[in-house]
Amino acid sequence: MNKQVLIAGGGIGGLAAAIAAVRADWDVRLFERAAQFSEVGAGIQLGPNVVRRLQAWGLQRSLQQVVACPSALRACSAVTGQELGRLPLGADMVQRYGASYLTIHRADLHQILLEALQVLPQAHLNLNQFVSSYSQQDGVVTIRTSTGKLIEGDALIGADGVRSAVRAQMLGDGPPRVTGHLAYRAMVHQANLPKRLRTSEVTAWMGPQLHAIQYPVRRGELQNLVVIVQGPAPEDLDHWDHSANLPDLLQHLQGACGYLQDLVQHVPDVGGEWRLWPVADRQPVSSETQMAQGLVALLGDAAHPMRPYLAQGAGMAIEDAAELQSALSMHDLDVSLRLRRYALNRWQRNARVQERSLRNGRIFHATGPMRWGRDLSLRALGGRIMDVPWLYEGAL
């Protein structure tokens, strides 16, 4: 009889963890808070380190049907509009790292993982309930769900996001920290934009205390736009009037180049809407015990929420799941030792990505001499400093 893993959370991390567990010959019971599986309309960048994991799960064909394959990663000045540096993607990435650099709609990636999981008889998906607490004793972990059910398993994976209830009980370290950064996000049909505003590349526009990212998703039919600025969040985001976002955003972009302001202003004209999210994170992971204790482990944003300045939030969750598969497959070890092995093999890499994301944020939003130095370095070295071999190769 297979061991059973209980998974809290039905987002990308939870679904990836469930696929990994089934591939390690475990039965899965997954618990998702929402009444249906869905994801918001945002984009995700998938570096070759992540694409290789998805390919190993047999998802290449599904990916090919929905991804965009950007031709280059560009760094531009948000003030002057000038290109500062360029890193070719496409075949160059495949040659260097064995896989492509892809961009995808978050909902499309979520659907690919969900469909891959739904055909597996070992996976049991439970909607409209979440893991509210747990206990562990004598080799058994028992969860209490939001509906009052008590369910036993051999392991529990907390993949329940940045405000994880599993993490709250395991580590008791309070809510995530407010970063003072706000993300304005929009998704628009490229065909509705003037040709000069369409893109087949990933472009990072860097300005004082802000930056913007644009790239294609869904076979290039849609364009994902994100502008991150520094400032206080509205007090009540649940009832925030999103129609106010464009004037507020344009206020932040007063000193930006005409192209960027034009692109931002076109969003409502072509049926899009600017939505606002405050960016939250935590201090980088400092030990394996922050990712696993006994029969309970954390994965993805529950373990290591990070700022989006390295485009690796979803990627690290998928890498976590691949490592979890390896650990759960060690059938000669006790379950607690398998989860400890998972945590030992992941915490330092996750911490490094968190730290690099923080560093990138300071570079992207630089002012004064640091900004001039950044621009000079990009003009001189371009793709050589935009490439991240340790990340894309999968090393620490």
The burial of 50, by beta-carbon neighbours within 10 Å (0-12 exposed, 13-18 middle, 19 or more buried), is given as buried
Residues in the chain: 396
Question: Is 378 strand, coil or helix?
Answer: helix
End-to-end CA distance of the chain: 36
101 is catalytic: no
Q: SS3 helix, strand, coil % of the chain, rounded to 5?
A: 40, 25, 30
- Pairing status of strand 202-207 against strand 210-217: antiparallel
Do the beta carbons of residue 300 and residue 263 sit within 8 Å? Answer: no
| Residue closest to 124 by CA, chosen among 12, 234, 25, 7 | 7
Buried residues in 13-41 as b, exposed as e (16+ CB within 10 A): bbbbbbbbbbbbebbbbbbbbeeebebeb
Question: Is 3 strand, coil or helix?
Answer: coil
Tokens of 138: 């004598």
- Bridge partners of 29, per DSSP, are 6, 124
Of 101, 134, 184, 215, catalytic: 215
Any idea what DSSP says for residue 178? E
Which residues belong to the active site?
215
